[in-house]
Amino acid sequence: MFIVGLTGGIGSGKTTVSNLFKELGIAVVDTDVIAREVVKLGSQCLYKIEQHFGSTILLDNGNLDRKKLRHIIFSQPEEKHWLESLLHPVIRRQTRLALEKSSSPYAILSSPLLLESPDIELTSRIAVVDITPEQQVLRTTIRDETNSAQVEKIIANQLSREEKLAKANDIIDNSGTFENTKQQVLNLHRQYLLMKDNHSMR
């Protein structure tokens, strides 16, 4: 299957761009969404997390207290490692399953850490959503009602804009209007439809 990897830093517009591909009838597998699903109420992973950290890691309604967990793994690298060893293989399996199940002409694999992940091997092409770091901070603080220091810290922990762009086959410039981005997605969609035909003839 022809799979286009979609990536970009926090707040760059991956979700916005993914939704535009969805509107064109293209299956989108989003590793952020899968990462939330694998720890949902009643899941094996949530049970193991509770066993490991104790029931104080859960909210009153039984769901995972993400804020508390994030706090723990930020300050304790060995706990981060434990959590990643638990979740990464499950997320990877679910990602592959979802891609196999998709039936659109090609599929989008959206992942903020795609370029650092073995999932990159699943992709035929990489599209990077690009905006300036200043726009990333502005849009994310508005979306998440968080402060700029927090967002800057996350950006500093991700691959730099230059490193991402160097690995891109296609760049979606999301610094302009939604309409402008939509037009770029439509152009890429047309190219991908042609490319996937060549891909399947190989």
Q: Which residues bind ligand ADP (CB under 6 A)?
A: 8, 10-16, 139, 143, 174, 177-178, 181
Helix (H) or strand (E) holding 46: helix 44-53
Nearer to ligand ADP, 102 or 181 (CB): 181
Nearer to ligand ADP, 74 or 178 (CB): 178
String of DSSP letters for 133-145: HHHHHHHHHHHHT
What tokens does 23 get?
Answer: 């509107």
Nearer to ligand ADP, 7 or 123 (CB): 7
CA–CA dist 32, 12 (Å, integer): 14
When computed from its CA atoms, the radius of gyration of the chain, rounded to whole angstroms, is 18
Phi, psi of 160 (to 5 degrees): -70, 165
Minimal distance, residue 124 CB to ligand ADP, in Å: 21
The number of CA neighbours under 13 Å toward the Cβ of 28 is 20
Nearer to ligand ADP, 164 or 196 (CB): 164
Minimal distance, residue 47 CB to ligand ADP, in Å: 29
Minimal distance, residue 16 CB to ligand ADP, in Å: 4
Minimal distance, residue 14 CB to ligand ADP, in Å: 3
